Amino acid sequence: MKKGILAKIVIILIFAYLFFPIVATLLFSVATKWTTTILPEGYTFSYYQQLFTSPEFIQSLLRTVYVSVITIALSVVLIVPSIYLTIVYYPRLERFFEILSVLPFAMPGVILAIGMIQMYSSGPIRITGTVWILIGSYFVLILPYMYQATKSGFRAINVKALTEAALMLGCGKLETFIKVILPNIIRGVISAALISVSVLFGEFVLANLLVGDNYETLQIYLYKLQKVDGHLANALVASYFLVILLLSLLLIWLAYRNNASAVRDRGKTS
Amino acid sequence: MSYVQINNVEKSYQGRQVLKKIHLSVAKGEFVTLLGPSGCGKTTLLRIIAGLERSDAGSVRVNGKEILAGQHKKGQNIGMVFQSYALFPNMTAYENIAFGLKLKKISPENIRQQVGEIMDVLSISGKENNYPHQMSGGQQQRVALARALVTKPDLLLLDEPLSAVDAKVRESARSLIRDIQRRMGITTIFVTHDQLEAMVMSDRIVVMNSGEIMQHGTPEQIYHKPENRFVANFIGTYNFVPGDWVGLSAYEGEVCIRPEHIQMLKKDQLEQFGDSGSVRLQGLLAHYYILGNTVRAEVVVGDRKILVDRLNGFQGSEFETNEEVGLVIDKDACTMLAPGRGEGN
Ligand SMILES: Nc1ncnc2c1ncn2[C@@H]1O[C@H](COP(=O)(O)OP(=O)(O)OP(=O)(O)O)[C@@H](O)[C@H]1O
Ligand SMILES: [Mg+2]
């Protein structure tokens, strides 16, 4: 009995600790005036309205969406076929890809960024300060997430046997990949993409160092906004929080469905 | 005229040879089983025949056409059933079976009719809209079989398709596969490590061991006329006794006799049985146990233990353990093994 109450108190404290800043942010983003009182004196949605109608905000949002979409698309197009080909035709390369995919974890973003600035500010590929250098480094940044999440999609099916079964029925190699393999791993690819979206939407260090004012992403805009108007910045953070929350829920749902079907199929795909 | 011709096929993995100069021909409509212990190269050989694996040397021809690995399988027309079934998880039973027909650009009405027919034959009608994970192992196996059969292949390859289902389902699946194979006249190569399965189903059995063909022949030949010690040991049970025991004093090696070919008698009856064509031995009945429809006796004769099988009659046994018994062996029942190949294993 006593133990139960203690456990509850601890859990409540942890949740309070976790949610307090979020609730405060939410409240501040809708407060007219909030100085000496415990709760705001009045409420308004005007900051949100201001934010969502601000051309600067729209511009930066579009920029972030643009880099994220291009990076993720590039990543999917390169990683999905690579994993497929290693599993079916070049199993020895698998270890190499595993190592390659965790390499970005070993490199702090700052070092990566400075290295890239030097590498690409002269020579044949001069892309320092342009959006391309950002896309390139974002590609590396999301590589571990993309690789692992996509790989787990592949792990849920017996890729080699399915491929061979389709080939034996007279299916071409590309056709097999599109008709048989892709529909079975697509959920893994989608969750990989969603994880990457949430990583890229929150990214500040690389964007600030590599492109800064040249290409003002959402996070850079937020950074500037903070110094100008706290209420607006909070409205942005709150919106950001909601988007990430929805993404996470979507991910959890996807992961749950993946697991459920994997459990059902276990033992039949030995 | 052989329909499938395998010539001198060899294969090594990382410097270790897993197939050594395999020669084999299969006639049209024949049911041939590759039988051998785990790791002897059965799957590897089957995959080379299918064109899924490249051989290091030699060639495979099916119906006159050479099979090449990596080549588009459209012109090849070989059906294959995998041990794991490899059903497409995103497709229903119907879509799985229709997959090969759709690739052949057959009209939808024809596809519907042919799929319906084969599902009927395999008694899986009604499962059309089930996804693989919604079916039992036995049903999945039938869908896999249907998917391979519906395209009317020139050659059907089966890699232990029955190993993942329970004994009852396996038994009915054996005769089902055999029936359909006969009715459709499909040349079939079947892989198993279950000798009973091989005996029941095959026209011809190919016994393999560590990448070599040890013997091939009808189930009768394999069972009654093993050509070497490996086959004798691998198929069924044999007693090995010195040649002079059965009056072959000139013969250096050992002879082998099936347990069911030895007669066991009460010791005092021994004198009345047997003729010049048989030998009589005496021993001690050490152990006696039921195998099912037969009963096995372990009789110690000299320094050897001889196994004797008798039918498990309804009246039970008239023998007691530790009793002195007599054995009668017909000389014609003894098989002499050529020394050399496969010895010692
Ligand atoms: N891709 C591979 N790489 C390396 N060695 C392999 C490969 N495939 C098979 N082998 C080896 O070749 C040998 C024969 O394998 P194979 O799968 O043909 O045996 P099998 O007779 O089918 O055995 P089982 O009854 O267990 O299925 C084995 O020793 C195996 O370890
Ligand atoms: Mg095998």
Residue B341 domain flag: no
Domain containing B300: what range?
239-336
Residue B344 domain flag: no
Q: What pLDDT score does A270 carry? A: 37
**What CATH number does residue A137 fall under?**
1.10.3720.10
- Give the residue, by CA position, lying nearest to ligand 1 atom 10: B13
**What CATH number does residue B326 fall under?**
2.40.50.140
Tell me the pairing of strands B239-242 and B254-257. Answer: antiparallel
Rounded mean pLDDT of B25-40?
95
- Residue B215 CA to ligand 1 centre (angstroms): 20
Q: What pLDDT score does A214 carry? A: 85
Q: Which atom of ligand 1 is nearest to the CA of B42?
A: 21
Decide if B23 touches A, using CB distance below 8 A. no
For residues B243 and B166, membership in a common domain is answered with: no
For residues B11 and B63, membership in a common domain is answered with: yes
For residues B185 and B261, membership in a common domain is answered with: no
B102-158 tens-digit pLDDT: 999 899 999 999 999 999 988 899 999 999 999 998 899 999 999 999 999 999 999
The overall pTM is greater than 0.90 = no
Question: Are A171 and B103 an interchain contact pair (Cβ–Cβ within 8 Å)?
Answer: yes
Q: What pLDDT score does B344 carry? A: 41
Element (H, E) at A147: helix A131-155
For residues B21 and B130, membership in a common domain is answered with: yes
For residues B16 and B96, membership in a common domain is answered with: yes
The domain boundary, picked from B212, B233, B254, lies at B233
Is the pLDDT score of B247 beyond 80?
no
Question: Are A168 and B79 an interchain contact pair (Cβ–Cβ within 8 Å)?
Answer: yes
Mean pLDDT taken over chain B: 89
Residue B342 domain flag: no
Residue A60 domain flag: yes
- Which range in A24-28, A110-114, A247-251, B325-329 is most confidently predicted, on average pLDDT? B325-329
d(CA B173, CA B215): 26
The domain boundary, picked from B233, B259, B284, lies at B233
For residues B254 and B275, membership in a common domain is answered with: yes
Order the strands of the B294-301 sheet from edge to edge. Answer: B262-266, B324-330, B278-290, B294-301, B304-311
For residues B7 and B133, membership in a common domain is answered with: yes
A65-116 tens-digit pLDDT: 999 999 999 999 999 999 999 999 899 999 999 998 888 888 777 787 888 8
The domain boundary, picked from B216, B233, B250, lies at B233
B69-84 tens-digit pLDDT: 888 888 888 999 998 8
Beta carbons within 8 Å of B216's beta carbon, 6+ residues apart:
B24, B204, B205, B206, B207, B222
Decide if B132 touches A, using CB distance below 8 A. yes
Q: What pLDDT score does A260 carry? A: 55
Q: What pLDDT score does B339 carry? A: 58
For residues B181 and B61, membership in a common domain is answered with: yes
Q: Which residues of A touch B73 (CB under 8 A)?
A: 167-171
d(CA B105, CA B121): 23
- Mutate: best of A89, A179, A259, A268, partner B, most B CBs <10 A: A268
Task: Please report the sign of the dihedral spanned by the C-alpha atoms of residue A27, residue A30, residue A34, residue A40.
Answer: negative
Residue B141 domain flag: yes
- Residue B47 CA to ligand 2 centre (angstroms): 10
Structure tokens at B254: 């050992």
Q: Is B24 helix (H, G, I), strand (E, B) or coil?
A: strand
**What CATH number does residue B122 fall under?**
3.40.50.300
Domain containing A153: what range?
55-269
Decide if A189 touches B, using CB distance below 8 A. no
Closest CA to A57 of A236, A206, A182, A180: A236
Residue B11 domain flag: yes
- Give the residue, by CA position, lying nearest to ligand 1 atom 26: B38
Number of structural domains (chain B) is 2
Decide if A167 touches B, using CB distance below 8 A. yes
Would the CB of B193 count as within 6 Å of ligand 1?
Answer: yes
For residues B17 and B159, membership in a common domain is answered with: yes
For residues B163 and B280, membership in a common domain is answered with: no
Closest CA to A241 of A12, A53, A18, A25: A25
CB–CB of B132/B87 below 8 Å? yes
> 3-state SS of chain A: helix, strand, coil percent to 5?
80, 0, 20
Decide if B50 touches A, using CB distance below 8 A. yes
Would the CB of B41 count as within 6 Å of ligand 1?
Answer: yes
Least confident of A146-150, A197-201, A252-256: A252-256
Residue B345 domain flag: no
For residues B111 and B197, membership in a common domain is answered with: yes
Number of structural domains (chain A) is 1
For residues B207 and B275, membership in a common domain is answered with: no
A138-189 tens-digit pLDDT: 998 999 999 999 999 999 899 999 999 999 999 999 999 999 999 999 988 9
